[in-house]
Every structure is written in C-alpha cells, then in structure tokens.
Amino acid sequence: MQYAKVNEKIIKRLKQIVGPTNVLTDPEALENYSHDETPLYSAMPEVVIKCTSTEQVAEVMQAAHEYRIPVTPRGGGTCLSAGAVPVHGGIVLSLEKMTKIQEIDKDNMMAIVETGIVTEQLGKELAKHGLFFPPDPVSLDSCTIGGNIAECAGGPRAMKYGVTRNYITGIVAVLPDGTIAKIGGKLLKNVTGYDLMNLIIGSEGTLAIVTEATIRLLPRPKIVVDLLIPFVCVEDAMNFTVELLHTDITPAAIEFMEGDVVRMVSKYLGRELPYQNANAHTIVEIDGNDKNRVRTMYDRIGDIAMKFGALDVLVGESVRDREKIWEPRKKIGDTLKDLTKNVTREDLVVPKKQIPRLISQLKNCAKNYGATVYAFGHLGDGNIHADVSIEKSKQVSPSEIDKMRREMYEITISLGGTITAEHGIGLSKIPYLRIAVDDKQIELMKKIKAVFDPYEILNPGKIFPDS
C-alpha cells in the first residue's frame, strides 16, 4: 500500500482541527511516540496529534482517509507486541487528553468514560462510590481504558472476573473514514444484529478508534486478602492450583513467579525476599464481604498448600502487607529492563496442567541460544509470560532471535496452547501468526479488515502476514 507523506498543507489542516499546541513535529517529542514497551521495535511518526474529543478524532480520520495517510492510535504506550509502533510513519493519534468520566451511574452500576483515562485513575474514582472495574493489568498505573479495549486486556483477576470484553457494554468508535459509530449502551443483553462491538474489542486498533466506553461495574469487595505461598518446584505449585480450583473457593487471582525471577527482583531491590531460594512462588488473592468467611477460605487454602509441600503461607490482610506481597510481581518488568537485555517478552497460554512442561522446555530452548527465560504470570488461567533476556554485554542476531521464538511457539502449540493470550499480535508476532492460525482464518480476518478499512490507513502493518 502506498501512503502519502505528511506535508505542510496537512499539518495546517491538523492544526485547524486540534489546535497548534496539540500537533507535535519536533523530533525529540516524536521520539517518545516511536515505540511502546516492546523490546527492539521502533519507528518514527511524522506527526503526533493529541485529540480532545470524538469529533476531533473523526475529523483527523476524515483527513487521513482523504489523503491516504497512515494513522496509529495510541493510549498509554504500554503495549508489549509493538502494536503502538507507527511502522509506516504518518500520524500517531494520541488519546492521552481524553480522560473525562462522563457519568458514574450507581443505580445501573455503569460508567461512561473517555478512553484516554488511565485504568488506575478510573479505579480510584469508582472506589469512592463502592464500585470497581475488575480487569487489572499489571501496568494499570499507566495503561488506558482505550488500550485495554484494543487488546482486550485481562490481568491477574481475569481468572475470577474475566477480561475487558466482559465489562464493555457500549462504545463510541471512529471508523477509518471518520464515521462516528455508537454501538450498544447500558445494556446487559443485546443481540440486535452482528456483535460489532466485540469485533472491535481486541482488534488492536486496526478496525476503529474507540473514544468512549460504557463499562459494567461490580460492587467493590469489602475485604481483600493476599497469600504468598512458596513451593520447592513448579510442579508442586501447579498441583496445588489444580486442587484449589476443584474446591468451592474461587480465588480472584493465582499468580506465579518462577524462582529465577524472584532472585533477580531481590537483586534489583537490594534486599532479600521471603523464601527467595524456592523455585516457585504463588500469590493467591481472595475477596469477599464477610470477614469470617474470607478467613475460613484462606485457612483452607493454606491446608491445601501444605498438602502439596508449601514452604510457608504468608498472609497479607492490611494494605501495606498486601503491597509487600505484590511488590516483587509488579517489579519484574523494571527488574529485567534494568539488569538484563530483553530480547523478547512472550505472552503464552497453555492448558494449566501443561505449565511445568512449558516452562521447562522454554528454558531449555532459550539456553541453547545463550539466553535465559524468566517465567511468571497467571497460573490460574494458564497464561505464562516468558521474558527472554541475555547479559547486557552480549549480542544476539535478529535471525537467532527469530529462530528461538519460532521454537518457543512450536513448543507452546505442541502442548495445546497458542502464541498470545492478552498482548496481541501487533507487529512483533506477525511472522509467526501462521504457526498458530490457518490460512482460512487469516483470509477471513483480512476480509473483515478490508470492509472496515479498504485503504489500510488505520494501524497498518499490524496483525497480518505480508502486511
């Protein structure tokens, strides 16, 4: 696809739409929008536009459609599949200024928000009303609702509460030609025609730009308790998880950190962590409204854990103690970025019982390339993040990284899994899509893309092979 370059005439039109201060062309400013959190991927945009309303987004898309200029939508820039990298240059359209909470409807337990709002900020406002939005990506302090919708984000609580898709009941979306589409609303049931909203959710910004969302909320649990349970090995942690999930207890989260990760975080923090020599650490979160029932639940969880060889069960009831339990898990990204050289950050999913085999085989695979796999993630739903790093002083060629990633994906698929659970295909996984999805499915997806975006101007170069 041939795209037009952004020239002075187009810059002038964009300034008329959003105002001169919301149009960035300085190279230093553009560099901040040339990458997301994915290692090794970057591309400079020609201009960055900061919109403040749905109408402005629509006008920008009308201009882009008229001139055939590529547009890369952007929320918080926390994507881990290079989905926010403007690979064809053009316009980066940022929603960072669209942060209004239009309404919190306590009676219907719904909120209407602009999608540039940061997930954590929305959570704080909802808490004032005794409500919450369950999806909780680890990057919630910087990711936006729009990014969550584009990627159908999950997070640790997805096991009990589900993912973003389960809470979006309405959207306002700007299509690639600038048409504004209002889909759904404050409705828990809606089968009026095809489910276009859920087609757009998780489409990685390739079909439409969601500027406003109607979100289903839940009552905020009064009591939340976290348990840190270290095990000698991954197999013991997995057997514990399987047995726990066969009980009538429904944990909000069962998180996992492999021993190598915990020891690296200990080094980064400069202090010893509890049981850091254990090779598998789980964090079990439970919530509810009855203190005695919650206590009974965590006593039972402790009994099950000890049955499978847990080294201890550390209980965090206060906010401070819970934060201490979660701190190592939340510091993994910063740790590996600071102490190692990330070459790829994988987001794999397999049937839960296969997790020990997956981690073992991935570590052996990476070792053959002089790299180390640091495994962590969501034990309760089979979603393991495998960050692959080398020493900062070492080099590894792109061809070696490609070969290693192919082997890792083949291992995952051989165990009944697939290549991404919540980070998406983006740019970084395009060469590997055909390993996981057959040509007929890819053909159908391309046809859907062509209906929405015949000129391929919206987040081009993402998802599809040969794009």
What lies within 8 Å, CB to CB, of 206 at 6+ separation is 449, 452, 453, 458, 459, 462, 463
What is the mean pLDDT of the segment spanning 230-252?
Answer: 96
Question: Is residue 357 domain-shared with residue 411, that is, in the same domain?
Answer: yes
Q: Grade residue 1 by pLDDT with cuts at 50, 70 and 90.
A: confident
Q: Which of 201, 219, 237 is the last residue of a domain?
A: 219
- Alpha carbon distance 134, 150 (integer Å): 17
Query: How many residues belong to the chain?
Result: 467
Q: Has residue 89 got a pLDDT over 70?
A: yes
Task: Provide the sign of the torsion angle of the four alpha carbons 121, 123, 126, 130, taken in this order.
Answer: negative
Q: Alpha carbon of 144 to those of 32, 262, 275, 324, 332: distances in Å? A: 17, 28, 35, 25, 20
Q: Grade residue 273 by pLDDT with cuts at 50, 70 and 90.
A: very high
Structure tokens at 302: 């402790």
Q: Are 411 and 401 in contact (CB under 8 A)?
A: no
Question: Is residue 118 domain-shared with residue 210, that is, in the same domain?
Answer: yes
Instruction: Tell me how many degrees the CA angle 211-213-215 measures, rounded to the nearest 5.
Output: 160
Residue 326 lies in a domain: no
Structure tokens at 334: 């910063």
Residue 268 lies in a domain: yes
Residue 330 lies in a domain: no
Q: Are 116 and 99 in contact (CB under 8 A)?
A: yes
Q: Are 436 and 419 in contact (CB under 8 A)?
A: yes
Structure tokens at 202: 């998780």
Can you tell me whether residue 98 is helix, strand or coil? coil
Q: Grade residue 361 by pLDDT with cuts at 50, 70 and 90.
A: very high
Structure tokens at 240: 């514990």
- The count of structural domains within the chain is 4
Q: Has residue 309 got a pLDDT over 90?
A: yes
Residue 70 lies in a domain: yes
Question: Is residue 46 domain-shared with residue 85, that is, in the same domain?
Answer: yes
Structure tokens at 222: 């009064």
- Alpha carbon distance 123, 223 (integer Å): 16
- Alpha carbon distance 404, 243 (integer Å): 34
Question: Is residue 126 domain-shared with residue 214, that is, in the same domain?
Answer: yes
User: What distance lies between CA 168 and its chain's CA centroid?
Assistant: 16
- CATH, residue 374: 3.30.70.2740
- Alpha carbon distance 260, 233 (integer Å): 12
- CATH, residue 161: 3.30.465.10
Question: Is residue 386 domain-shared with residue 280, that is, in the same domain?
Answer: no
- Global pTM? 0.94
Question: Is residue 19 domain-shared with residue 48, that is, in the same domain?
Answer: yes
Nearest Cα residue to 175 out of 448, 461, 467: 448
Q: Which of 179, 201, 219 is the last residue of a domain?
A: 219
Residue type, 45: P
- Alpha carbon distance 128, 245 (integer Å): 32
Question: Is residue 110 domain-shared with residue 215, that is, in the same domain?
Answer: yes
Q: Has residue 343 got a pLDDT over 80?
A: yes
- Alpha carbon distance 27, 25 (integer Å): 6
Nearest Cα residue to 155 out of 141, 170, 173, 168: 141
Question: Is residue 348 domain-shared with residue 428, that is, in the same domain?
Answer: yes
Instruction: Tell me how many degrees the CA angle 151-452-17 measures, rounded to the nearest 5.
Output: 85
Residue 329 lies in a domain: no
Q: What is the pLDDT of residues 97-124, one digit of tens each?
A: 999 999 999 999 999 999 999 999 999 9
What is the mean pLDDT of the segment spanning 374-400?
Answer: 93
Q: What is the pLDDT of residues 123-166, one digit of tens each?
A: 999 999 999 999 999 899 999 999 999 999 999 999 999 999 99
Nearest Cα residue to 76 out of 118, 34, 135, 125: 118
Q: Which of 97, 125, 156 is the last residue of a domain?
A: 97
Beta pairing, strands 280-288 & 223-231: antiparallel
What is the mean pLDDT of the segment spanning 169-175?
Answer: 98
Residue 465 lies in a domain: no
- Alpha carbon distance 33, 45 (integer Å): 7
Structure tokens at 395: 């080099």
Instruction: Say what percent of the chain tops pLDDT 70.
Output: 100
Q: Alpha carbon of 262 to those of 259, 266, 413: distances in Å? A: 5, 6, 27
Residue 48 lies in a domain: yes
Nearest Cα residue to 211 out of 176, 180, 168: 180
Q: What is the pLDDT of residues 183-209, one digit of tens each?
A: 999 999 999 999 999 999 999 999 999
What lies within 8 Å, CB to CB, of 426 at 6+ separation is 38, 79, 81, 82, 83, 85, 204, 462, 463
What is the pLDDT at residue 467?
55
Mean pLDDT (the chain) is 96
Which strands make up the sheet holding 180-184, listed edge to edge?
Answer: 101-105, 110-114, 209-216, 168-174, 180-184
Residue 395 lies in a domain: yes
Least confident range of 47-56, 151-160, 304-313: 151-160
Residue type, 223: I
Q: Which residues span the domain enclosing 76?
A: 8-97
Nearest Cα residue to 402 out of 343, 466, 362, 340: 343
Question: Is residue 241 domain-shared with residue 204, that is, in the same domain?
Answer: no
Question: Is residue 212 domain-shared with residue 117, that is, in the same domain?
Answer: yes
Q: Alpha carbon of 90 to those of 64, 69, 163, 267: distances in Å? A: 9, 6, 32, 42
What is the pLDDT at residue 466?
72
What is the pLDDT at residue 465?
85
Question: Is residue 281 domain-shared with residue 207, that is, in the same domain?
Answer: no
Least confident range of 1-5, 146-150, 365-369: 1-5
Question: Is residue 105 domain-shared with residue 213, that is, in the same domain?
Answer: yes
- Alpha carbon distance 25, 5 (integer Å): 13
- CATH, residue 74: 3.30.43.10
